[in-house]
A and B are shown apart, each in its own frame.
Chain A
Amino acid sequence: MATSAVADPDSGLTGAQLAARYGLTSAGARPSLPSYVRQLWSYRHFISAYANAKLVASFSNARLGRLWQVLTPLTNAAVYYLIFGIILNTQDGVSNFIAYLCTGLFVFTFTQAVVSGGVQAISGNLGLIRALHFPRASLPIAVTLTQFQHLLASIVVLAGIVLLDGEPLTIEWLLVIPAIVLQAIFNAGLAMALARLGSKATDLKQVVPFVMRTWMYASGVLYSVDNFEKHLPDWAAQLVQLNPLLVYIELMRHALMESAPVTAPATESWLLGLGWALLVGVVGFVYFWRGEKEYGRG
């Protein structure tokens, strides 16, 4: 009973002291990096469910539904075949130009879609962010996952195109799997970095299409990569070879095609691809985590 005589032993303490005394934690504090990784892992079911939901929702108003997942790349390939294969009859010194073009196009589209989705991953989901508690990195990762599923459908289409274009089916095709996994890690890092940038600078959304178009021309999608060496000064051609998207496109061409013009031998491309994936994946993740507390302020 003696203790209850003290009316309020906590009077005179500041909020922070009182909080420390009773073990309260700061609301919405940023978790440490390891615990953030653990949180993210425990939300893996949410991430995959969210990615799937986005995929289903994007087709829900179309009568053909998820058939568009295959129809979209197929239509894309048909348009490019019409323009480059029939009207312009571009060969550009490449014997199997259509397979060459579609490989580049589908790999590039993966990153392009992730970038434009990643920029809006935070700014376009403020309702969700302000209503529920979850590690925010779930959103850019889910964007990557959704587009990864689109890529898988494109690869089925691509395999058909490449075979029809006269390429043989070889054991090397299995290298497609590590190639797209590396690209997916690269893309996830990119999406996280851009999600944080996009949450602050809302004008970024308007700039992205132009950046991506420039990037496309630097990645040798629509023409043979031989053009870089032919038309660029030496240092610029060297620089273009480091372009991560060119690297991932070449990895795919190495895997699927017997004789395609490439800028670098396979080993070099694999090392570059691995390096880019680790660098961008880790830096993007850490950069995103550092802003965790800020998301949601509009």
Chain B
Amino acid sequence: MAELITAGTAASATTAANGARIPTVIVDDVHIVYRVHKGAAAGTNSPVAALRRLLLGAKPPTVREVHAVKGVSFTAYRGEAIGLLGSNGSGKSTLLRAIAGLLPATRGAIYTQGQPSLLGVNAALMNDLSGERNVVLGCLAMGMSPAQVRQLTPEIIKFSGINDRGDFSSLPMRTYSSGMAARLRFSIAAAKKHDVLLIDEALATGDARFRRRSEQRVRELRAEAGTVFLVSHAIASIRDTCERSIWLESGVIRADGPTDEVVPEYEKFMNRS
């Protein structure tokens, strides 16, 4: 039978001709180091201190290196939904950005099939522009054609529900409530089809009604995508959607396995400390 699988159907199959699972994301001993510019700390940013640093050739104290991900390795396969667990600042979002190719890995390598898409709540938009213009700009930035954008814009605005209380889509985004802005951002990001989909806390936005709608949309996206990564602090949504979980703590993998085994461990850890 293996020979009968053509290129077209092979793309949707989860296993290769020889029965092996097809990897879609390979993370190979990845380290990510951020350079963060701290705000001026008292006493360290005076002209005298700056001059002394210059003369002594010391590193400016306002730049600090943050080792966010320390040697993470795993392989994700087609058809998998993987939950990323970990406390705040454990490196989950950084890792997702690196997989999406948005943040370069300092050491190690990440290999992906096609171009992974990051679906986050912080897709930068312009607050001075109307919601509708932001939709157009966001869609173009995701690589859509102008014709596609024209066609999708009304759907996106309808999905976001920002026009439920009057015509808000023509008002600047700075006039939106935080929930409305988050809903619009999610709606824009979710409008595209993806090969490898990375979802970063995107489900936590909006009210209960919008959350139901967005969870439905994510299930649809999952059905279309080969592999889904989900970062969430809502354990329930990871249990619902992911069969495999990776638990990151301080940039190191603490556990990688079936969700049923990893989640209890993680919960025990969180309740202890």
What is the interface of chain A, defined by CB distance below 8 A to chain B? 3-4, 6, 8-10, 14-16, 18-19, 22-29, 42-43, 45-46, 49-50, 53-54, 56-57, 60-61, 125, 127-134, 202, 293-294, 296-298
Return 24 A-B CB contacts under 8 Å, by A number: A4-B19, A15-B28, A15-B73, A16-B28, A18-B26, A19-B26, A22-B16, A26-B110, A27-B111, A28-B100, A28-B102, A29-B101, A45-B140, A46-B140, A46-B141, A50-B141, A56-B128, A57-B126, A57-B128, A60-B172, A130-B102, A132-B102, A133-B100, A202-B37
Q: Is B5 an interface residue, CB under 8 A from the partner?
A: no
Q: In whole angstroms, how far apart are the Cα atoms of A26 and B109 in the complex?
A: 7
Contact: A50 with B137, CB < 8 Å?
Answer: yes
Q: Does B45 lie at the interface of the complex (its beta carbon under 8 Å from any beta carbon of A)?
A: no
Q: Which residues of chain B have C-beta atoms less than 8 A from A49's C-beta? A: 136-137, 140
Tell me what chain B mostly uses at the interface: helix, strand, loop, or mixed: mixed
Closest 6 CB pairs of A and B: A15-B28, A28-B101, A19-B111, A127-B124, A57-B128, A24-B111
A-contact 0/1 string along B137-148, CB 8 Å cutoff: 110111101100
Residue from B27, B118, B145 in contact with A45 in the complex, judged by beta carbons closer than 8 Å: B145
- Minimum CB–CB distance for A86 against chain B, Å: 38
Per a CB cutoff under 8 Å, which of B20, B26, B128, B138 touches A8?
Answer: B20
B111 A53 Cβ-Cβ under 8 A:
no
Contact partner, A27, options B16, B34, B116, B138, Cβ 8 Å: B116
Q: Which residues of chain A have C-beta atoms less than 8 A from B172's C-beta?
A: 60
B75 within 8 A of A: yes
How far does the alpha carbon of A293 sit from the alpha carbon of B98 in the complex, in Å? 11
Check if B86 is an interface residue, CB within 8 A of chain A. Answer: no
Q: Is B20's CB under 8 angstroms from A15's CB? A: no
Residue of A nearest to B18 (CB): A3
Is the beta-carbon distance between B109 and A15 smaller than 8 angstroms? yes
Report chain B residues within 8 Å CB of A23: 113
Are B126 and A298 in contact, with the CB atoms below 8 A?
no
B residues in contact with A42, CB < 8 Å = 143
Known: A26-B111, A298-B36. 16 other contacts (CB 8 A): A16-B109, A18-B23, A22-B22, A26-B112, A28-B98, A28-B101, A50-B137, A53-B129, A60-B128, A127-B124, A129-B102, A130-B102, A134-B141, A293-B104, A298-B34, A298-B37
Interface residue B85 (Cβ < 8 Å from any Cβ of A): no
- In contact, A24 and B143 (Cβ under 8 angstroms): no
B223: interface (CB < 8 Å):
no
Is the pair B129, A60 in contact by a Cβ cutoff of 8 Å? yes
CA distance A115 to B29 in the complex (A): 40
- Say yes or no: is B234 at the interface (Cβ < 8 Å to chain A): no
Are B123's CB and A131's CB within 8 A?
A: yes
Which residues of chain A are within 8 angstroms of B141 by Cβ–Cβ distance? Answer: 46, 50, 128, 132, 134
- Are the CB atoms of A22 and B136 closer together than 8 Å? no
Interface residue? B97 (CB, 8 A): yes
A16-B109, A50-B137, A60-B129 known; A27 vs B22 contact (CB < 8 Å): no
CA distance A57 to B134 in the complex (A): 11
Contacts of B63-78 to chain A: CB distance below 8 A: 73, 75
CA–CA, A49 and B130, complex, Å: 13
B128 touches A61 (CB 8 A): yes
Among B18, B19, B23, B138, point to the contact of A24 (Cβ < 8 A). Answer: B23
